[in-house]
Copies of this chain bind each other. A is one copy, B any other.
Amino acid sequence: MAEKASKIFQAFREHSVAEFFKKNRQMLGYSGKIRSLTTIVHEYVTNSLDACEEAGILPDITVEIEQLGPDHYRVTVEDNGPGIPKSHVGKVFGKMLAGTKFHRFIQQRGQQGIGAAGCTMYAQITTGKPVRVVTSTGNGMIYECSVMIDVKRNEPVITDEKEYPGTMRGTRVIGEFKGVKYVKSEYGPYEYLRRTAIANPHAKIVFRDPEGARHVWERAVDALPAIPKPSKPHPYGLTAHDLLEYASMSKARSLKSFFVQTFDRVSAAKVKELEELTGIDFNRKPDSLTWEEAATIIDAIKKIKFLAPSTKNLYPIGQEQIEKAILNVLKPEFHSVVTRPPSVYRGGVPFIVEAGIAFGGEAGRKVDSSRKMEIMRFANRAPLLFDSGACVITKVVNEIDWKRYGLKDAENMPVTIVVNITSTYIPYTSAGKQAISDEEEIHKEIKLALQEVARKTSIHISRKIKAKEKSEKKKTLLKYIPEIADALQKLVGANKQEVEKKLLEIVEKKYKEWEAGEETSENGEKELEKLEEMAVKEDLENGSIGE
């Protein structure tokens, strides 16, 4: 007998987003002891960096991890940011999907309003304890409280409040966690902070590890960073639904002014073009737009040339800064870096891809005594350590035909590849924010960036390989000199020492000629020509010529 629907649906219930993420905590990055600890550090540190930058403050961040027992640690993160108003502390640390980041079109590391509340939940379910928050906006008063989450209602529960006079500006959060583990591997907090320092040369980061060692990454740039500002969506990449949603929220008197005010790079002249193409009256009110009209406008947008998205609200790390960081940290034999022009993906979201390759020196992941290819992924300067296999950056790196660029066995070479995506909205595959979704336009830009740095690198590499071949030829010759000298002595009675010396001179002279010849050789010219051809071929493959 089949069960009745009415009986099955007796079990029907509604749930809060906090319940969802409590049950599915692995989606927030809480899977495994090592990853869970790094997730906590990541959430607090990105919040601190975002807060400092939005307030125009050079970040000073201190992270301390103390071991309290096996798999049991206390984490303290303190910043010199703007502080949190008393009325908002509970919601920042004790409510999911609440915050300043989710709905704004602004370049920040955090973007969901889940991270800090996720840490509170993890503290609570592993130790039963709230997190302690100490904060001041610099107004002479310090506010302290303990925060938990009422998971069923997704609401903060605040206890042990204190307020007292004191001079401080910033926020300190202290949480106790079980089911976590500190390791020094590439997945641990130390590596996370090291990479954060690479991508944030304007921040000073101090880390006290569980063994009591103090690590300091000093500020490399003293300039106040640009304050990120909310930006406008670009018309390319908008859907009819986006357009209707913006129109429904707009207070503009006409579609014309709505378009000019709401979207990036849309001038009155462009609106006129749209009007002519669609036959729609742009003097009407924005909220009178129908779905069909919106779809018609979206089709027309694709036929019009707009300026590329404005970069004024996107702040990539910058070619020079990446070069400094690479030279400083990896000390490579050679390197090459590129910052691509801004592009745009679905929803009109602008983004910029930066890529770098470092070869030799301390580049590459150390495995036993050799070095292998290492991929350093960043999103809005935040390092991504986990879920590498699910990330579009890893996918594109694996798609590149490295052999074409002289890297015959790239995976087993001392190479570090750095990719940073800067955007007002990073499309993560999961709320754990460790992998970027495979969006067509982002995929393409990463590919172009990597091909560009690979081309630049390939000249160096082919020179290096030739130099190595020559040096080996020299070594072989040198090895036979004593034998030849010996033979000559025996055969014709020549002085062995003298013959050896002469032969050595000849080899050294020949080798110097080889070296000198290399710089101006015809081969060099030919190589460059070959690379130019290669570039054109790739562009054709990528469809970026003739568009």
A440 within 8 A of B: yes
Q: Are A2's CB and B56's CB within 8 A?
A: yes
Least Cβ–Cβ distance between A214 and chain B, in angstroms: 27
For A239, give its contact among B100, B125, B389 (CB under 8 Å). B125
Least Cβ–Cβ distance between A17 and chain B, in angstroms: 4
Contacts of A439 on B, CB cut-off 8 Å?
26, 31-32
Which residue of chain B has its CB nearest to the CB of A1? B56
Q: Are B82's CB and A31's CB within 8 A?
A: no
| A12 touching B100 in the complex, CB below 8 Å, given contacts A5-B137, A389-B389 | yes
A403 within 8 A of B: no
Distance in angstroms between the alpha carbons of A31 and B294 in the assembled complex: 22
Copy tally for this chain in the complex stands at: 2
Q: Are B241's CB and A31's CB within 8 A?
A: no
Q: Are B13's CB and A438's CB within 8 A?
A: no
Which residue of chain B has its CB nearest to the CB of A347? B23
Q: Are B240's CB and A31's CB within 8 A?
A: no
A452 within 8 A of B: no
Q: Are A2's CB and B100's CB within 8 A?
A: no
Least Cβ–Cβ distance between A30 and chain B, in angstroms: 9
Interface string of A239-255 (1 = CB under 8 A from B): 11110100000000000
Distance in angstroms between the alpha carbons of A5 and B50 in the assembled complex: 12
Q: Are A11's CB and B112's CB within 8 A?
A: no
Which residue of chain B has its CB nearest to the CB of A84? B5
Contacts of A104 on B, CB cut-off 8 Å?
11
Q: Are B84's CB and A9's CB within 8 A?
A: yes
Distance in angstroms between the alpha carbons of A525 and B344 in the assembled complex: 65
Q: Are B54's CB and A12's CB within 8 A?
A: no
Q: Are A5's CB and B128's CB within 8 A?
A: no
Q: Are A13's CB and B102's CB within 8 A?
A: yes
Q: Are A85's CB and B5's CB within 8 A?
A: yes
Q: Are B85's CB and A55's CB within 8 A?
A: no
Which residue of chain B has its CB nearest to the CB of A87? B9
For A17, give its contact among B4, B13, B20, B388 (CB under 8 Å). B20
Interface string of A446-480 (1 = CB under 8 A from B): 00000000000000000000000000000000000
Q: Are B12's CB and A82's CB within 8 A?
A: no
Which residue of chain B has its CB nearest to the CB of A11? B100
A423 within 8 A of B: no
Contacts of A98 on B, CB cut-off 8 Å?
12-15
For A427, give its contact among B31, B112, B128 (CB under 8 Å). B31
Distance in angstroms between the alpha carbons of A180 and B427 in the assembled complex: 18
Contacts of A17 on B, CB cut-off 8 Å?
17, 20, 97
Least Cβ–Cβ distance between A287 and chain B, in angstroms: 15
Q: Are B56's CB and A3's CB within 8 A?
A: yes
Which residue of chain B has its CB nearest to the CB of A390? B390
| A24 touching B84 in the complex, CB below 8 Å, given contacts A98-B12, A104-B11 | no
Distance in angstroms between the alpha carbons of A9 and B11 in the assembled complex: 40
A435 within 8 A of B: yes
For A128, give its contact among B126, B241, B425 (CB under 8 Å). B241
Least Cβ–Cβ distance between A100 and chain B, in angstroms: 4
A103 within 8 A of B: yes
| A112 touching B3 in the complex, CB below 8 Å, given contacts A31-B427, A54-B8, A103-B15 | no
A27 within 8 A of B: yes
For A390, give its contact among B82, B88, B427, B435 (CB under 8 Å). B435
A431 within 8 A of B: yes
A113 within 8 A of B: yes
Q: Are A428's CB and B2's CB within 8 A?
A: no
Contacts of A137 on B, CB cut-off 8 Å?
4-6
Contacts of A1 on B, CB cut-off 8 Å?
56
Contacts of A129 on B, CB cut-off 8 Å?
291
Please list 5 pairs of residues, one from A and one from B, whose beta carbons are closer than 8 Å in the complex, sorted by A's number.
A16-B97, A27-B430, A31-B429, A32-B438, A125-B241
